[in-house]
Each structure stands twice: as structure tokens, then as C-alpha cells.
Amino acid sequence: MSQQFESRNNLIAFAVCIGAIVILGIGAALICVNLDSDKHLAQIVAALGFIGSAITGLVAIGGGFRFGTAKNPPLVDNSTTNEVAK
């Protein structure tokens, strides 16, 4: 897979992840505003707990995206361990 294609896919996935966070946040705000807290407090707390954990998971996923073209080469130890110091 080419670097440009991979970078573009990462950008699209990151944008979708950010969009999902925003949509979930707006949904949480709508739940708080539209429901009567006197009658539905337990359901509001449960919904906000679920939405909060989903947002936390998406933020963690968003932190895992890598952008750029340079890949880190693996570290290689060129010294030999079998040599005896003289």
C-alpha cells in the first residue's frame, strides 16, 4: 500500500472518529436538555454514562492514528554479544 493512500485513509478515519465524538456530545446535550430530570434521572445518568464511555473510547482510538510519511526504522543492535573484552 502506498504511503499517500495510507495517509489519506488515516485522515479519513480520524475525521470520522472526530465526527462521531461531536455527534455523541451533541446527543448527550440533547438528552440533558429534553428529558425531565425529575422523572427520568436514572435513565439520564445511564445514557450519559454510556455516551461518556463511548466518547472516551473514541478519544483513545483517535490518539492512535499516525500521520506523516516517515516510518521509524527498527532499532538494530550491531554489536555482538559473544565477543570477549580484551
85 part of a folded domain: no
pLDDT in the model for residue 60 = 86
Q: By the 8 A CB rule, do 21 and 59 touch?
A: yes
69 part of a folded domain: no
40 part of a folded domain: yes
pLDDT in the model for residue 71 = 60
81 part of a folded domain: no
- In total, how many domains does the chain have? 1
Task: Using pLDDT thresholds of 50, 70 and 90, give the confidence band for residue 2.
Answer: low
12 part of a folded domain: yes
Cβ atoms within 10 A of the Cβ of 29, count? 12
For 62-73, write each residue's pLDDT tens digit.
777 766 555 655
- Domain of 16 in residue numbering reads as 3-62
For 14-60, write each residue's pLDDT tens digit.
888 899 999 999 999 998 888 888 888 998 899 999 999 999 988 88
pLDDT in the model for residue 26 = 93
Mean pLDDT value of segment 72-80: 59
79 part of a folded domain: no
Give, in order, the Cα–Cα distances in Å from 45 to each of 1, 52, 66. Answer: 45, 10, 35
